[in-house]
């Protein structure tokens, strides 16, 4: 049994006036949601409670905390804030990693069931699905998520459509509204990995998704210092099943990590605004660069996902794809030549980073060998550009 979060957050708008108030913007909610009650002398930030167990006698009452693998008050402010940002009726459910959250979503698929997901989803998500196929006879269908007709044809008889948009690392953009409607009409459960877009970029629940998952590790926490995940849903029954999964499997989040994630969340809007602007500017300059073969970023008018992203998202994200002229060797040399950009996996931190994705044997083989995934951070764009431009010249010997 888990306890329900105790809803200890203050109202999102002061209630002194009876005049109708405009809804608060997401940027404001990221700052204001999940705060302790405004009591005289009370803290403005929630405390971290380090306790594995709670005083308890007899039968557990509703709302009573019992044991930290099941529930702890230290999760609640973050869970509340994330649900507020995603527009969810239920509190979010935080996990020890994005993959733990994704595993909880896959638990909805029965043995012998069917899952449809993008062929360029995060490689470990694809690996998880393959493991379900091998061990539980699940039919896993990989689709080009940008091809709406292909996805709709594939979801006939499916138990779960897991959408990533934009995809990692190819940045394909799905027609989210169309896919979510089609899945609902066919009774297919839908989950959207909203890690790349963030709740500020798109709100899948409002478009009809059953579940949203996040690697909180990335933009939500934002500082490359924690690994966390979360599930968000409007559906009380699904939420209860996800919480039960968390309790059973034990992939729980540590209190300090969740506290850090909430602190990171406070600056989400500023970080996303700055990193998106940087990414769009760097993408624009790269398209005109003589040492560049191809650039992918939905902000580019020539990008296959541009029109759709402009219609369905607010903002174009901060990850871009780059293929330098000269192939894989030049791509590897570029990763070595940068001095400011950090050569590292992951994304969504304040610092800019890059890596060649096919260095992982497990990466999808339809991802080009020379594709670099760039996660653009919040540094000064001129510094980022100077370093990248210099590294391109060094890598190509030009
Ligand atoms: N979803 C996406 C889109 C990701 O990029 C990642 C990690 O890179 C994950 C999920 C998994 O998250 P985590 O590394 O927090 O387990």
Does 312 sit in the ligand 1 pocket, CB within 6 Å? no
Residue 17 is predicted with a pLDDT of 58
Q: 375's torsion region: left (phi>0), alpha (psi -120 to 50) or beta?
A: beta
Q: What is residue 21's predicted lDDT score, i.e. its pLDDT?
A: 85
Say what the pLDDT of residue 369 is: 98
| Number of the ligand 1 atom closest to the C-alpha atom of 101 | 16
pLDDT for res 313: 97
User: For residue 100, how far is its CA from the centre of ligand 1 (angstroms)?
Assistant: 10
- Nearest atom in ligand 1 to 164's CA: 3
Distance 98 CA to ligand 1 centre (A): 5
Report pLDDT for 223.
98
- Using the Cα atoms of residue 86, residue 119, residue 357 and residue 327 in order, give the sign of their dihedral: negative
Place of tokens 């260095």: 359
Is the Cβ atom of 164 under 6 angstroms away from ligand 1?
A: yes
The response to whether residue 193 sits with its C-beta less than 6 Å from ligand 1 reads: yes
At 1 the pLDDT is 33
Rg (CA), the chain: 22
Looking at the DSSP bridge assignments, the partners of residue 161 are 116, 190
Nearest to 197 by CA among 187, 205, 185, 189: 205
Q: For tokens 């902000």, what's the residue?
A: 299
Which residue's alpha carbon is at the smallest distance from atom 6 of ligand 1?
215
Digit-coded pLDDT (tens) for 357-398: 999 999 999 999 999 999 999 999 999 999 999 999 999 987
Amino acid 398: pLDDT: 72
* Residues of the chain with confidence (pLDDT) below 50: 1-15
Active site residue 69: yes
Closest CA to 209 of 159, 171, 162: 162
What contacts 333, CB < 8 A, 6 or more positions away?
Answer: 394, 395, 396
Q: Which candidate in 71, 159, 175, 193 is catalytic?
A: 193
Q: DSSP E strands: which ranges in 138-274?
A: 139-143, 160-164, 189-193, 211-215, 229-233
The model scores a pTM over 0.75: yes
In the annotation, is 135 catalytic?
no
């Amino acid at each position: 049994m888990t306890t329900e979060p105790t809803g200890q957050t203050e109202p999102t708008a002061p209630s002194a006036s009876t005049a109708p108030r405009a809804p608060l913007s997401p940027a404001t909610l990221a700052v204001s949601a999940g705060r302790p009650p405004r009591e005289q002398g009370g803290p403005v930030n929630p405390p971290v409670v380090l306790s594995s167990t709670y005083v308890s006698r007899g039968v557990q009452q509703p709302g009573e905390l019992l044991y930290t693998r099941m529930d702890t008050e230290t999760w609640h402010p973050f869970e509340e804030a994330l649900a507020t940002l995603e527009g969810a009726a239920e509190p979010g459910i935080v996990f020890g990693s994005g993959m733990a959250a994704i595993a909880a979503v896959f638990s909805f698929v029965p043995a012998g069931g069917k899952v449809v997901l993008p062929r360029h989803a995060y490689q470990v998500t694809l690996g998880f699905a393959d493991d379900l196929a091998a061990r539980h006879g699940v039919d896993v269908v990989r689709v080009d998520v940008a091809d709406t007709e292909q996805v709709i044809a594939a979801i006939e008889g499916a138990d779960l459509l897991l959408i990533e948009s934009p995809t990692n690392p190819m940045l394909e953009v799905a027609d989210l509204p169309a896919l979510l409607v089609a899945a609902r009409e066919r009774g297919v459960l839908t989950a959207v990995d909203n890690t790349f877009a963030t709740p500020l970029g798109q709100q899948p629940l409002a478009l009809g998704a059953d579940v949203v998952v996040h690697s909180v590790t990335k933009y939500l926490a934002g500082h490359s210092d924690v690994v966390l995940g979360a599930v968000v849903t409007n559906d009380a029954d699904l939420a209860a099943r996800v919480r039960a999964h968390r309790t059973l499997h034990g992939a729980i989040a540590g209190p300090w990590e969740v506290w850090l994630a909430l602190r990171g969340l406070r600056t989400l809007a500023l970080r996303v605004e700055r990193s998106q602007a940087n990414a769009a500017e760097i993408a624009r300059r790269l398209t005109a660069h003589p040492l560049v073969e191809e650039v992918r970023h939905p902000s580019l008018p020539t990008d296959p996902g541009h029109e759709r992203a402009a219609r369905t998202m607010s903002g174009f994200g901060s990850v871009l794809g780059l293929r330098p002229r000269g192939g894989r060797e030049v791509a590897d040399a570029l990763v070595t030549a940068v001095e400011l950009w950090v050569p590292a996996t992951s994304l969504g931190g304040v610092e800019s980073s890059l890596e060649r994705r096919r260095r992982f044997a497990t990466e999808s083989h339809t991802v080009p060998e020379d594709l670099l995934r760039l996660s653009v951070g919040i540094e000064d764009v001129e510094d980022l550009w100077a370093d990248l431009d210099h590294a391109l010249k060094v890598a190509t010997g030009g």
